[in-house]
Structure formats: structure tokens, C-alpha cells
Amino acid sequence: MMNRFEGPGGREARIRYLDGDFQVTSPGAFVRCAVTGENIALDELKYWSVARQEPYVSAAASLQREIEVNPDLRKRG
């Protein structure tokens, strides 16, 4: 059991990413961007992939991962 000073504040949360929402499966204050490794506070989390169950710090990081996974996207213009 946590004492009242520990709390989930310094811990990485475990998240289940859903369409338009997410579910915290293990309490914490942040998740790590799958592309950059940056911490993302849960109240700032806006971008993720349901299919890959990954969070992203920004739309640019999300796009970068999509291009890594689907290189043919680079050819579109």
C-alpha cells in the first residue's frame, strides 16, 4: 500500500488506448511518447494509436510513426 506521500505522481501510467478515449489500467502521472521518449502528462495526452497501443507527444510524432510503419505514405503527394 502506498503512503500518502508517494502517490502516483512520479510513476508512469499504464494505459489502454481506445477510439477517442483511453483507460488507465495502472495509475501514474504520465506516459512516454513512443517516438521521442518524452514524458506526456495524462492531462496533456491527445495523440495515440489504438492499433499499436502507443502514445505520441504531438501530431508530428504520430505522423512520423505512421510513415515509419507505412513507408508508402511518403510517396503520396
Question: Average pLDDT of the chain?
Answer: 89
pLDDT in tens, 33-68: 999 999 999 999 999 999 999 999 999 999 999 999
Q: Could you tell me what percent of the chain has a pLDDT over 70? A: 86
Interatomic CA distance for residues 77 and 46, integer angstroms: 26
> How much is the pLDDT for 23?
97
pLDDT for residue 8: 55
Distance CA 38, CA 57 (A): 7
Q: Bigger pLDDT: 40 or 5? A: 40
Contacts by 41-45, CB closer than 8 A, 24 or more apart: 42/13, 42/15, 45/15
Q: Could you tell me what percent of the chain has a pLDDT over 90?
A: 78
Question: How far apart (Å, rounded) are the C-alpha atoms in residues 8 and 27?
Answer: 6
